[in-house]
Structure 1
């Protein structure tokens, strides 16, 4: 029998916000040594200026490290969960990262994403129709928040409709950091095998999807492993993040009915609301641990060459040095900076797509069901809400609603 593992400090969450131990670091020294699943401890960064500095300096803080680069007793090789990192932009450094991202960047511009807008509107309307037919109570996560971005990214990558349910279940399990190491390694291998089959079919008959485009336009510049890795990363990252934002964001709006009404009734309020939801929720708690390539000092701490560095985005996005009254959810804020999409060379490639999906899906839901409310005994009690606290991407297990 395998046992569930405890979440690392940089991934722990409490309700909508950061975990108290991460907040305590930010409000104290700003940096602390914390244990890691890899063996050697890491430096935890919690303040926005420090997180931006680290993420913006790929020459000092590297992604592409191996256990051979670490000092001390190494318990886990990160390649167990990510293969050899081929095509996985989140685990690569320039110039390899730059070469692959350049091939993809043109497909994720705001202008290119607008071509998808009519189809996203259609997908959203179809799921609203299905919600209305099914009646109340309904689970907003499984019936709305999860399937919409899943269908969008699957169509973008050319995943057959019949494979989508299996893909959703496997991806959710992969991101459950409470799963045993053995289970997560097995799931990663299953995902890789699926992607290898998907790419093989696309090579035989390239479609108009993103994988087909990469094969037609960049086949000579991409290895098969890189193409598989790119597809695997986009499929996982492209749906779980937005799905959790739609579920958790709806709950946040329901808890703030005056601001919900603005999102529902005022088109100009939607875009600022999405940015405030990104900041306040910070569903991606952290990212790949970095390896210091040289000695550097942060917040008075001496980080040595070979040390691991991790970071906490929820504490950075609620940093009182950057945001006034940061614990308050307020969609009328004048765009305070946030790092919910990351920063630097690894700033989220799919940010324009995620923003578009949220700007369509939130107001559409609230306008279709203007009396939407939680179907729980006490709508203000967090104990009646199933937060997905053991997942690498923060969200909800389910969200019972009625109208």
Structure 2
């Protein structure tokens, strides 16, 4: 089961369990998302469906569907989206509604699906690991991993797929270093990470992989209790060992892996494809790497790889725009929808690194549940794109039709299966020195 199915089905589960008192409902067994609920997740290449723009123009807060007598609302306006995402009158906590199996094995939860005070307690433990001071210490490691993958591209031949050589391994290796996973654990962790998004066995196979991933991380946490490692798990144990149990710490680690792995992989793969179609930006990243900030921010806005924010459940009647949302209704904020709002200037459907308003995008969310790893993601992208263009200035896409990338049909994290390229001439000279040519957020 893909991440979109887990999140949306979690939202649906919450809706039904508010209506039906039975604690035995397990909507993870559903093999499809209803068309009335799932259509906003399908896209046309890099772009959202035109229907999203039409709805935003008519009513930025739109009644999407009704399920079992409950309303599901879709928000596509940027102002309305910010209002919803920062409003504490909504809950994202679906743990009471996942049934006995979910409550027992923790297949749904983490910061995104947790309300204060649990959210406040857990986020306080992890936030210091993502400060600019601590992230600055990670920069040489990220540069080393990027350079390693550039070497792999150079050795791969005339046509190279950037997904397995660059898009996936860069964030995967960064996350492993961040968590402090030893080398002998990484192959197992990679296999579990891949299996949890495989729908070939339906929900049973995916949820089984999720449970295995949690158990794997709980075992890693237990080992580090006795001998804390150099990464995030060990750091939290050293500083807050008595304040967090193995289950919660494994959940935080699992959230870091899922939040930072697939999203960054999609951004690196699709972002490179966008840049290779915009030679002006590609060439300027090589010759003027100080311009990487606006390029990255515009890519984040333009691609909006996270397609929907965590579902919000209204705790009370509330007005959103000019619409009355009732207690128990579900509100979904479409990130591609809000990030293509006209508030971002002329032709928001175009990729334009000179767009001054790009920085105010909602690609990382907003408010209480804004992505805690946003600055790590930015750092990876700011290092990777200039390094790639500098090493391979003549790189070209090896496919003419964008559809050949194999865009995902329905996923909460949008992405591609492949980005075949011809690396072309290799320009030696290495990467920019740490801190040179890049500006901090």
Look up the SS of the partner of 2:372 in the other structure: coil
Matching of residue 345 in structure 1 with residue 365 in structure 2: no
CA contact (8 A) 2:153 2:160 kept: yes
CA distance in structure 1 between the partners assigned to 2:339 and 2:87 by the alignment: 19
How far residue 273 of structure 1 moved from its aligned partner, in angstroms, is 0.3
Matching of residue 5 in structure 1 with residue 32 in structure 2: yes
Task: Tell me which protein shows more helix as a share of its residues.
Answer: 2
- Structure 1 unaligned regions, length at least 5: 69-75
Evaluate the alpha carbon distance shift between residue 196 and residue 96 of structure 1 in structure 2; reply closer, same or farther with a 3 A threshold. same
Structure 1 residues 350-369: aligned runs within 5 Å: 350-369=373-392
CA contact (8 A) 2:62 2:74 kept: yes
- Structure 2 unaligned regions, length at least 5: 1-28, 425-441
CA contact (8 A) 1:8 1:37 kept: no
Matching of residue 302 in structure 1 with residue 302 in structure 2: no
Find the partner of 1:63 among 83, 87, 92.
92
Deviates more, 1:189-198 or 1:9-18: 9-18
Q: Which residue of 2 aligns with 1:19?
A: 49
Find the partner of 1:399 among 419, 428, 435.
419
Structure 1 residues 85-124: aligned runs within 5 Å: 88-124=110-146
- If asked which structure has higher relative contact order (CA below 8 Å, sep 6+), I would say 1
CA contact (8 A) 2:221 2:249 kept: yes
CA contact (8 A) 2:31 2:202 kept: yes
CA contact (8 A) 1:108 1:352 kept: yes
CA distance in structure 1 between the partners assigned to 2:165 and 2:364 by the alignment: 25
CA distance in structure 2 between the partners assigned to 1:185 and 1:38 by the alignment: 25
Could you give the per-residue CA deviations for residues 42-94 of structure 1, whole angstroms, max 9, x where no partner exists? 11111111110011112x111114566xxxxxxx7598499548971111112
How far residue 330 of structure 1 moved from its aligned partner, in angstroms, is 0.7
Matching of residue 387 in structure 1 with residue 416 in structure 2: no
CA distance in structure 2 between the partners assigned to 1:272 and 1:81 by the alignment: 42
CA distance in structure 2 between the partners assigned to 1:295 and 1:141 by the alignment: 45
CA distance in structure 2 between the partners assigned to 1:11 and 1:123 by the alignment: 32
Alignment size in residue pairs: 391
Structure 1 residues 4-403: aligned runs within 5 Å: 5-6=32-33, 8-35=38-65, 40-58=70-88, 60-65=89-94, 80=102, 83-84=105-106, 88-175=110-197, 180-336=202-358, 337-376=360-399, 378=400, 381-402=401-422, 403=424
How far residue 32 of structure 1 moved from its aligned partner, in angstroms, is 2.2
Evaluate the alpha carbon distance shift between residue 390 and residue 236 of structure 1 in structure 2; reply closer, same or farther with a 3 A threshold. same
Evaluate the alpha carbon distance shift between residue 24 and residue 260 of structure 1 in structure 2; reply closer, same or farther with a 3 A threshold. same
How far residue 98 of structure 1 moved from its aligned partner, in angstroms, is 1.4
How far residue 14 of structure 1 moved from its aligned partner, in angstroms, is 2.4
Evaluate the alpha carbon distance shift between residue 16 and residue 156 of structure 1 in structure 2; reply closer, same or farther with a 3 A threshold. same
CA distance in structure 2 between the partners assigned to 1:385 and 1:197 by the alignment: 37
CA contact (8 A) 2:406 2:418 kept: yes
Deviates more, 1:389-398 or 1:34-43: 34-43
CA contact (8 A) 1:9 1:22 kept: no
The TM-score normalised by the length of structure 1 is 0.90
Q: Which residue of 2 aligns with 1:73?
A: none
CA contact (8 A) 2:94 2:109 kept: no
Evaluate the alpha carbon distance shift between residue 371 and residue 338 of structure 1 in structure 2; reply closer, same or farther with a 3 A threshold. same
Deviates more, 1:357-366 or 1:22-31: 22-31
CA distance in structure 2 between the partners assigned to 1:82 and 1:266 by the alignment: 52
